[in-house]
Structure 1
Amino acid sequence: MGTVILLRHARSEANNSGVLAGRTPNVGLDATGRDQAAALVERLAGVELAGLVHSPLLRCEQTVEPLARARGIPPIVDDALCEVDYGDWTGRELGALQQEELWQAIQSRPSAVRFPSGERLSHVQHRAVEAVRGYDSKFATADGSPPVWLLCSHGDVIKSILADALGQHLDLFQRLVVDPASISIVRYTELRPFVLRLNDSGDGLGAVLPTRGTGGTDATVGGGAGPTDTGQE
């Protein structure tokens, strides 16, 4: 059993648009996101990685690219780690979506939610956790020592993996925060997972200070834009 570094993609061009990008193609990183991706090389210096896996969407590919190049590790692309299929909600403004009856269900009982013409959040968790468990075995080292590997995906996908690791019902996963370019770490063992780190952006305690758009009770679908901006993935 090994340790997975769960990396949410760096800040994207859509993060401050107020629109739910979802699986919209060709949504890349903005200037801040490119800086965040480049900084990962130094942030993870000294951590030997057995492998890199990422969602097929462009923003995840661009986030991992500098690290993959620096380490000489060809990344694996896996659809099981793709963004939630938000169906008919894709491309719509968040302000309008907050008026939908389904929005409150997402806040209070996400395990029961299926997005219109899209995906169930319970299915998202199942596919993502299955992928994590599979790669944890795949990257096992020849000498039997526990591997450390990196997975780059999206806010709600990573939150669902963390909820499973915490033994937390999916209906409580909105209590978790996963910002762009943040790192969360889970070590898997035969008995139970251990959550070693959560939403670490490497920014010290400044990230916990109240900022514009914070303080509400609703969780942003997709994970939001981080502590300095409002918006959507």
Structure 2
Amino acid sequence: MPTLLLVRHGRSTANTAGILAGWTPGVDLDDTGRTQAAGLAARLADIPLVQAVSSPLERCRQTLQPLLDARPELDPPAVDERLGECHYGEWTGRPLSELAGEPLWRTVQDHAAAAAFPGGESLRELSHRTVTAVREWNDKIAAEHGPDSVWIACSHGDVIKAVIADALGLHLDHFQRISVEPCSVTAIRYTPLRPFVLRVGDTGSLASLAPRPDAPAAGGDAVVGGDTGAS
């Protein structure tokens, strides 16, 4: 099955302001975020990509744009609302420092599977829609481009953490243990037996993720003792 490169959008104006943006329109990358997005293309220079998918929100599409400019062979990204930010409902647009005083905050932190945002969605619903989207895209890309293909999707922090938790077999209550920085790349290779989490929140070089003919675990078996890595 294909390898997914899951990118969190670059730093946004809401990130620097400490605001929970959610689906608020007009939230763009800040200067640092634009620099991070420009660097993403170079970090992925050695990785062949067959498909780009994006959350519909501006900050994700802005993050992918420099990569698309450098890869004219890539079609414009497919936009999938299921990879959009969590619907935070009445929490949307409020300062994080203020939200930390809400009774629901502790549930979100300690028992995410029970957390539902007033007027929005639950974290269980977020997990279901995002994991479903990723696995459906994997099937589609495998059918169209083959099992060794690599695709990229740009999304949001809680979305990515939910997908990682699913790939690791973690209960959703533990997804707050995962950290993904702005413009970081998480790499997950899906196989018929299990996903392999290759990177989590990586902000450095990604060259070793390029497909190689001697890649282990093509059939889903883990290498006992650990694989040899790229030569």
Q: How far apart are 1:144 and its partner, in Å?
A: 3.4
Superimposed CA distance per residue, residues 149-179 of structure 1 (whole angstroms, 9 cap, x where no aligned partner) = 0010000000000000000000000000011
Residue in 2 aligned with 1:161? 163
Residue in 1 aligned with 2:181? 179
* SS state at 1:91 partner: coil
Query: 2:60 & 2:99 partners in 1: Cα distance?
Result: 25
Q: How far apart are 1:71 and its partner, in Å?
A: 1.1
Q: TM-score, normalised by structure 1?
A: 0.85
Aligned counterparts, 1:185-224, within 5 A: 185-202=187-204
Query: 1:4 & 1:13 partners in 2: Cα distance?
Result: 27
Q: How far apart are 1:145 and its partner, in Å?
A: 3.8
Query: 2:201 & 2:183 partners in 1: Cα distance?
Result: 9
Superimposed CA distance per residue, residues 29-61 of structure 1 (whole angstroms, 9 cap, x where no aligned partner) = 011111111111110001000100010000001
**1:101 and 2:103 are equivalent in the alignment:** yes
Question: Unaligned regions of 5+ residues in structure 1, if any?
Answer: 204-233
Aligned-pair Cα RMSD in Å: 1.2
**1:110 and 2:112 are equivalent in the alignment:** yes
Contact residue 141 and residue 147 of structure 1 kept, 8 A: no
* SS state at 2:16 partner: coil
**1:128 and 2:157 are equivalent in the alignment:** no
- Name the CA shift for 1:101/1:140 in 2 (closer, same or farther; >3 Å): same
Residue in 2 aligned with 1:17? 17
Contact residue 136 and residue 147 of structure 1 kept, 8 A: no
Q: How far apart are 1:140 and its partner, in Å?
A: 1.9
Residue in 1 aligned with 2:64? 64
Residue in 1 aligned with 2:38? 38
Residue in 1 aligned with 2:77? 75
Query: 2:184 & 2:56 partners in 1: Cα distance?
Result: 19
Query: 1:95 & 1:66 partners in 2: Cα distance?
Result: 33
Count of residues in correspondence between the two structures: 203
Residue in 2 aligned with 1:230? none
- Name the CA shift for 1:92/1:142 in 2 (closer, same or farther; >3 Å): closer
Query: 2:50 & 2:170 partners in 1: Cα distance?
Result: 28
Letter matched to residue 36 of structure 1? Q
Query: 1:135 & 1:142 partners in 2: Cα distance?
Result: 10
**1:50 and 2:56 are equivalent in the alignment:** no
Query: 1:43 & 1:120 partners in 2: Cα distance?
Result: 34
